[in-house]
Structure 1
């Protein structure tokens, strides 16, 4: 047999053995025999470098060094899930589902594994890239590191789509985690805190050979792409297994919410029998067409929800209450605790939220308090052990002055939090606003991190985000840990931020209550910062989903002379202060004031494209029909209840062609 045939045969054999061992958990040869075959393949590849293949089993050992991880935009957004903590919340979710879609509804229950989210792209059956979740819109490419994970197939089996993404969770099994920690302790090193953080940190290691030494696994749960010919979530999981992916066998198809509860109850008791960390159950509508009908909110799919198991709870002593100042001036009280082990991490601090929460729970310094992780992520105090309280203790008196600048705090009527009104003179507010401005979802200034911002402010080099554009390399080189290359990267990152589109600039300004979604809505309707500054409160409130609170906040921000001055400076420095001509060219007001509901399957454009067309032309898309609905855009297989409701209300119906013709007019 010639070398090329021998190499091909060995690769196929080893890939099958790898699948048997890491995915099916049914090895058919010994570890020794596997290693001998791998060694033979490595020798043949070394002798025939022209036959190199990045997806060969020999490449699993790593060796690639990645200095900087490239940021990649996801083809399709990775949404986060909304959480529920009670059966009542799940029942409410199910009622909303039944109101919105027709026909029988079944659910897929999947365990919610606690790891690092990943999106894998396959082209022609080969792994082409692996990208972390990041902010859901874009993440870091970690392909070299993910190639080392044995349960990730480098080449697929069977009949698969030409190109698709598959999403999952990178996890570290308990057994492997314990072995890693035993080795670290023996070497005199600190043990890792918990499997989740260790798995997440592994993906960003610069040396893929180090990643290869870690027993990571990849559990896949969702396939996304175009023309996949998959009709249900459960069918997608079965297809994934046939192609060679490790899709957990614990996933089950349920026909009612009662069966979903049975699944939850079972795994709440048996989750500790699993080889991986899990913190809940994900429930998904099984039918992909129904998923499409339900759509998404700004953050989460409406067709899926996570039920979180009851959080782990411990008691410890509250030593001291301190106060933190946020970028908006909001004051957050923090409980400084005697360290306590909780859900795999050592907890030393917990949020107390606000003065009302402290008063409601009657929390005092010196108390023995009950601490748990909300959703097993953020530590919080949920109660006090009054039997342990010192009889001489005094109720907590909430701070009256800012802990950073000593300005007297204010509390607006109807609000829970206290605020420091010293907007332009309070250091944490100044630093926080600039850190928000440079963040990934806003101006995304590479080479400039939160610590560097603090250094620049402390050194007196900048006092606001407009000052960033006056910095020179000579200014920043004297800063601690700032080398020539770092200084160049920082200045280059600031220069590139001039290209960031208006909606992200608007988000970056840090106007209270103007988050990412609101900023996009304002930018789309108002078009420029100049028009926004001139807009009346009534004009803003007339924009869909912009209420009195947001309108007031925008007006308050621009009534501040310092803010107006900084915005004007940003404009002078070339920052995008209006929607680009290219974007404007794709927008009209043809559908202004009109509300549409989309239902069914379409042939010429996808549902997402239809939604975009409506919004780009001034219309609003709603998920349900009401008296305010102007048009129902009806595709094939439209739900009968939507049709009946539209007929009852006299809602005008448009076919796909009729809708597109309306735009052409």
Structure 2
């Protein structure tokens, strides 16, 4: 058995190894070991820290996942102000800077500078004391920033403790938090898959991610850090900018790989032009080059204004913008069904690239910018990659400029285009049929919690769709052994296994089948509620919004106004109307009852007698759910999906190839026999049985099982290694139980699944 001393020694070795490999992977991009070996080191460290909690320290590599959400950001006063850089917008201004520098140093010799890219991110300072990260703050107004320590700790390229032991007692490094273009694309793809609004560019994504109140969200974002300087410093260990940054790199602080020493104006120009040529090949956004006097003594000699140092300048790249005409606006359909407007432009050169198309993001953005067909617009390459319309030159608008309208039908499949109230993104409703959504819908259909088709992975789905063998889910069940065996990386045995898995998947449940259809915002719990509410798929397909949600009252009238009116009429049974009902109501001085609201009520009820006879709930806009988890928005998604003939026909073809489920659902215990009816549970940690099996069993006992905690959660069922949910449950006052506690709660020996 491991003793505490042995565990302590092993923990220190593991932490050193993991920090080393983190630096190789995230900073140097040169990993030494495979991911599996790295994962084994992390798991061993996690296990030891779990067995010996006293060994956990804030700078352990296991502590990057993020703390609990914070209510706000505290203010941080910068010991050394974070002032801005002066800009040189032309070669002449750069030459002027070099000339003034020579004059201030009283020399005619070439001045030695450091040169590095000007990253387009968010400036932060990170303070280390005795080699350990103590605080991180945004730039703010230069004098005071915001405390983002918990968020910065989650950035993998930021060391929690420095390498070596020769660092100053106090070291405040300064740099840019940014997002690579690769990471940005991956993040936006995930956000669109989840139905969230994507970020406009990597800088916005980095800034938004760093300023999350919940550090766990920041931890999930692909942020990086690059150091370009320092602030508070107990003892400078080097005499030049370049040497100082090299020392920082030796302590594990990431610096730019493009950092160079250049002597004289011509060398500065050459560096700037070279980086400009390579700008589009970099995996991060830059908007210029920063030149700094290399000798720290010279920096001290030149000093700074209240706004910027006199010993540094940012040579900015030319603006990546151009004027052109919007010749047409077309709508593209993405793989999640999002219908996106795209401007077809008169071709124009932007940043050395011919641009003929530009995204308009969504119809709200079109209206906000007031883009019309025929307009002259300013086009830029967002992030120097994605062309977008920045703004309209309204003064040049022709008289016949046409307003952009959302199409009623999908331009790909002809299904209705739906734009739910309050949402910016419009979507094609032909989910099972639309070719643009084909791969995504089949991927979801085959997933484990849907039809659970083992062996049907993403790469195979790509092949099947690209070969045009699978156009809709039913086509999966028509594949032959000969077809599959001839595919790349398949073979006869793998093909036979897949066919067997497809055959097994035909025997399913109505809830799984509903979930597999991929209806927007219909998750597993909602699918189960729908299966319990409707007698088969035919009944569900025929349902309308009113079958899911009961809408009552008068739209435009709130509960407070309705309550005041209801009380007023109840207390005055002998009132008579003189004149028009609307005018009479408006003149009674009832709180909140404006003339327009009085008009709405008069239009609905027409007479005072009808108004007096109405129940309170008939007076103000309200709704009640007939199916758990289905509100007005989800009801609209359901009705729109089943209203499309293409979707109904696709479902019919699935039934025709043999997909089936019991005609009556497996007998669920009556409500009175469901001991967890009305209880909400969250599961965390490792349990004695697979989590899916536990979840299904809990739901059969009447419980609602969700993935996130709230004050409305009744129990957190915690297994081994419960993670951050345990602390969150305690902070919310949610009762925590283990499997034995669950069994005791149910009055049985064990929660037998």
Please give the TM-score of this superposition, normalised by the length of structure 1. Answer: 0.50
Larger Rg: 2
